[in-house]
Structure 1
Amino acid sequence: MSTADFPTDPALPPEEQESPAPACVMSFNASEPSGASGLAGDIATIAAMGAHALPVVTAILLRDTAEVFDQHVLDSDTVVEQARSILEDVTITAWKVGFLGSAEGVSAVAEVLSDYPDVPLVAYLPAISWLDEEQQQSYLDAFRELVLPQTHVLVGNHKTLTDFLLPDWDADRPASPRELAVAAGQHGAEHVLVTGITLPNQFIDNVLANAQGPITGEKFERFEVNFIGAGDTLSAAIAALLSVGAEVHSAVAEALSFLDQSLDAGFRPGMGNVLPDRFFWALPPEDEDGAEAALIDPLEPLVADEPPGRPPRRMH
């Protein structure tokens, strides 16, 4: 049974009818305490895009804003039980897959995904450098065999995707997005969004492609700071947009624009890297002098000795 089984009652007056629920996106990802990536990043992004996240924990990462120290993987049965419990209650319209913890986790999640073949899947492949070489290889082999055949859009950094899809690449030039898409297509993935392609003059390119060639993309000016959470933000935004029926090319274009603005408004909460601000659109508007005016609740009385608010978060 799902929320779709409880339609609004036309006999009730409008003020007594429930508002329709937002589109629901299930995310399989790790939990980590910085809030930069993993489930926290997915939840913030999906909410900012106007959808509702259904988060399923696959692993717990121990990290700060600079690096990952260790991980604890959840038992596969626990991961599956989390997902199936809510899937019996709520109708979803998109999946987001992030880090699944282990090869066993990949297999368990892939089995759940296979029961809903019509729900679009956005799969993000992070650089899993915190795993040892054997763990990395088994994880990637399982991901290639079990998740890629069900993937609508595969998202990843250019180098990460090249190492994953074309491990024997030895040409003098970088692999093109189309070549990566052809390799992904051989395993069943329909589209590949390649990020972080280095361009001259301090720009990077982000290109959506399929086996026929590039479809859409957007160039970003390179930031002078290092970010964490960009890949999870981008892939979760695409999933949220697909959940409301957007075409893949328009979903990717809008998600890239959202990511660019999130990075432009990024903030550094600790001593490590900068985090995307997924709620950049909720920041106070700038006044005529370029400073951000404080938002004042008209229903809240002014207090003369109130301490000043924190400085603006924008980083230009």
Structure 2
Amino acid sequence: MFEAQPHHKLRPCVLVFAGHDPSGGAGIQADIEAIAAQGAHALPIITALTVQDNNQVYAVYPVAAEVIRAQTRALISCMPIRAVKIGIVGNRENAEVIAQLIDQIQETSVHVGGRLPVIVDPVLGSGRGNPLAVDDASIAIAPVLERASLITPNLPELVKLAPHGLTNAQKAISLLGGVVSDVLLKGGHADEELVINRWFSSTQGQPEVQWTWPRLKEQFHGSGCTLAAAISAHLALGMTLQQSLLAAQEYTQAALFSAFRIADGQLIPQRSQVA
């Protein structure tokens, strides 16, 4: 017989908008696992059902915007939200509803240290370039980018989001103070011997911060989801943004190093390890 504990610890919640990946490698399952490993709790709102495996995306079916709205309102009516993490939105209509819901949460919540953190992983396509929205993904995601406090693009995503004819650093800086506040530019798609992740802050006078990580030879399914979700969890737990960025990168690198295989092709990060 178990005795009830007189005091149960309150676990901070991260509201997650993301698609469902039936392979379990990316999307909402990756977010739930990564957030739990940091010690926070995910509130998952599925934005789209996808047909995919650990290598290819074959189809995307957005969830009805009104279902997303109703599910989210049920949660925010009784649960304090400490951070928001956004992956694929499915279509423009869903993005607009999510943006409205974020505005509602921002108006009613009191977050320690300022506004509620909103982390956007701008998943404009799969790692192999398959589309992940029924509309043009870079246009569909625009409403949520306008609410983001941090965006975590990889290099191909940055090219689609920022003006042409600029260096990567200039592209990232062009997003600061515009539709997003801060940018973590991921270097996994570059050619350098090391992976270089670069943080561009909108805080005036704060220099660019870089982190370098060993470049692993394998390909991974859901690494971007893992990193963005871990960042959101650490922010929900009360860490500063810089602390969250470092802790999430350390966790993600360990998850990739311990990745496992479910079939031929991309590996699955071992996210169940506790950070």
Structure-2-length-normalised TM-score: 0.87
Of residues 74, 79, 86 in structure 2, which corresponds to 1:90?
79
Gap runs ≥5 in structure 2: 107-114
Q: Distance in 1 between matches of 2:61 and 2:132?
A: 14
2:250 equivalent to 1:257: yes
5+ residue gaps, structure 1, are 1-14, 283-316
1:218 equivalent in structure 2 = 211
Report matched runs for 1:282-293 at 5 Å: none
* CA offsets 1:75-98 (integer angstroms, 9 cap, x no match): 110111111111112111000000
Distance 2:97 2:131 in 1: 19
What are the within-5 Å matches in structure 2 for residues 122-137 of structure 1? 122-128=119-125, 129-131=129-131, 135-136=135-136
Residues matched between the structures, number: 259
Matches of residues 301-316 of structure 1 in structure 2 within 5 Å?
none
1:78 & 1:232 partners in 2: Cα distance?
23
- Deviation (angstroms), 1:206: 0.6
Which digits, 9 at most, give the CA deviation of each residue in 1:119-167, with x for residues without a partner? 210000113243399822xx422423x222221110110221122122x
Match of 2:194 in 1: 203
C-alpha separation between the residues in 2 aligned to 1:48 and 1:260? 14
1:42–1:236 CA contact under 8 A, matched in 2: yes
Q: Distance in 2 between matches of 1:258 and 1:223?
A: 15
* Distance (whole Å) between structure 1 residues aligned to residue 61 and residue 259 of structure 2: 29
Select 2:178's aligned residue among 178, 187, 191. Answer: 187
Whole-angstrom CA distance in 1 between matches of 2:5 and 2:22 = 40
Give yes or no for contact 1:94–1:120 (8 Å, CA) kept in 2. yes
Q: Distance in 1 between matches of 2:14 and 2:236?
A: 7
Paired residue type of 2:266 = N
SS of alignment partner, residue 239 of structure 1 = helix
**Structure 2 SS opposite 1:268:** coil
Question: Which of the residues 141, 155, 158 maps onto 1:143?
Answer: 141
Structure 2 match to 1:162: 159
Residue 119 in structure 1 maps to residue 116 in structure 2:
yes
One-letter identity of the residue aligned with 2:15: M
Question: In structure 2, what is the Cα distance between the partners aligned to 1:249 and 1:274?
Answer: 28
User: Residue 20 in 1 paired to residue 18 in 2?
Assistant: no
CA distance in 1, matches of 2:135, 2:48: 14
1:63 alignment partner, one of 40, 52, 70:
52
Q: What is the CA-CA distance between 1:100 and the residue it aligns to?
A: 0.6
Measured after TM superposition, the shift of residue 214 of structure 1 is: 4.4
Q: RCO higher in 1 or 2 (8 Å CA, sep ≥ 6)?
A: 2
Identity %: 24
Structure label with greater radius of gyration: 1
1:270 to 263, 267, 270: 263
Deviation, 1:226, is 0.7
Tell me if structure 2 keeps the 8 A contact 1:265–1:280: no
SS at match of 2:198: strand
How many angstroms apart in 1 are the aligned matches of 2:40 and 2:75?
Answer: 16
The code of the aligned residue for 1:162 comes to V
Q: For residues 73 and 216 of structure 1, do their structure 2 counterparts lie closer, same or farther at Cα, with a shift above 3 Å needed?
A: same
* Alignment correspondent of 2:42: 53
Say whether residues 1:237 and 2:230 are aligned partners.
yes
Equivalent position amino acid for 2:141 in 1: F
Give the partner amino acid of 2:253. D
The answer as to whether partners of 1:124 and 1:231 remain within 8 angstroms in 2 is: yes
Equivalent position amino acid for 1:253 in 2: L
State the Cα RMSD in Å: 2.2
Q: 1:133 to 1:16 in 2, by over 3 A?
A: closer
| TM-score of the aligned structures, taking structure 1 as reference length | 0.76
